[in-house]
Homo-oligomer: A and B are copies of this chain.
């Protein structure tokens, strides 16, 4: 039964920004309007923090051309938040929703965000307050369960792939060892994207270390030594979240061993990004243990998620599609859920936007399939079959040697 509920809607963007999270916001707006929604559409300034204060911007009257430009703009244009709301926090959000007659709640984010969505939704149900609560997936980490892949990943993967394509050629021009640190706390999808532009074994990245692998400094040194002897150079893609043999994050252990204070976020996670420390440690170890002179480290950093001008068109389209689908379902009378991208076929590449339960995706992490990981130090070429359609066309290169 299609039932249009009166009232207003709110949209929030949570967690780390991506190149396409504004697409999801615009998708929701378009999905609501196309299905007869007539209330106000509020954008929550800085996600739950804005919802708590009623700090909203009205989105329903923004002209389409401006919405299109906004959709194409990287980062989270409504402002984001790292707050992890508990039940008390969510109760206060619900009060603000009630005061503003908001009956449609859309939240774009990762697995923590779907959990927030779930809590608010359950509180509303308990109170008998009519709410339609939908989560739109978003994370460059690509680590949401029930999703073939997530909005934000394809564009970040394109950035990482093109960064490595250029850096491999740079390293070929001036040979040495190059360590590149890639984002990804628990899942290696983004680091694995470094291989997309690789044409043969002689191309970098020659070594790819993902959080799913079990590593030691000694193993890494042996891998580098072997590769450098073979090719006279070595390009490494190293996830910021690499783990040791006991499953402990190497970066946190290194930071603690160095006597530095370890910063933790509100979820209790050690802060990994925003520092060059891991790359510098690996670089120093290679110089001192292997005696290789030219060793350089770069940390790809926040550019991976927000660089202006490097975006996957498929990713843009799908991010918009998930937002549209959430709004469409809410307008059709669906109460709650999360939208998941599910792949129907590889060739031609086809996906569908499926509704799953909020609890299905909350607080869980999807990992890279072990079949893609070679000897804990590389990624299989077959991973490209999964990745290529999500990223779309990448830069073309030609070499003479």
| A residues in contact (CB < 8 Å) with B | 13, 16-17, 19, 43, 45-46, 57, 59, 62, 66, 69-70, 72-82, 162-163, 165-167, 169-170, 172-174, 178, 197, 273-277, 279-280, 283, 295-303, 305-310, 394-401
Residues of B within 8 Å of A74, CB to CB, are: 166, 169-170, 397
Query: What residue of chain B has the Cβ atom nearest to residue A178's Cβ?
Result: B302
Q: How far is the CA of A274 from the CA of B59 in the complex (A)?
A: 44
Q: Is the interface of A mostly helix, strand, loop or mixed?
A: loop
User: Which B residues are CB-close (under 8 A) to A43?
Assistant: 400
- Complex Cα distance A167/B16, Å? 12
In the complex, chain B residues whose CB is within 8 Å of the CB of A17: 169-170, 173-174
Q: Which of A59, A62, A172 has the most CB of B within 10 A?
A: A172
Interface centre among A170, A178, A305, A400 (most CB of B within 10 A): A400
A115 to chain B, nearest CB (A): 19
A399 / chain B contacts, CB cutoff of 8 Å: 70, 73, 77
**A74 to B169, alpha carbons, bound, how many Å?**
7
- Evaluate contact between A57 and B401: CB separation under 8 angstroms: yes
The closest CB in chain B to the CB of A76 belongs to B173
| Chain B residues in 8 Å Cβ range of A75 | 166, 169-170, 172-173
Q: Check B400 against A306 for contact (C-beta < 8 Å).
A: no
Instruction: Say whether A167 contacts B401, CB under 8 Å.
Output: no
User: Can you name 8 A-B residue pairings with CB atoms under 8 Å?
Assistant: A70-B398, A73-B396, A77-B169, A81-B174, A162-B310, A163-B303, A165-B309, A299-B301
A170 touches B79 (CB 8 A): no
B77 touches A308 (CB 8 A): no
B81, B395, B398: the one contacting A309 at CB < 8 Å is B395
Q: Are B400 and A166 in contact, CB atoms less than 8 angstroms apart?
A: no
A2 → chain B, closest Cβ, in Å? Answer: 30
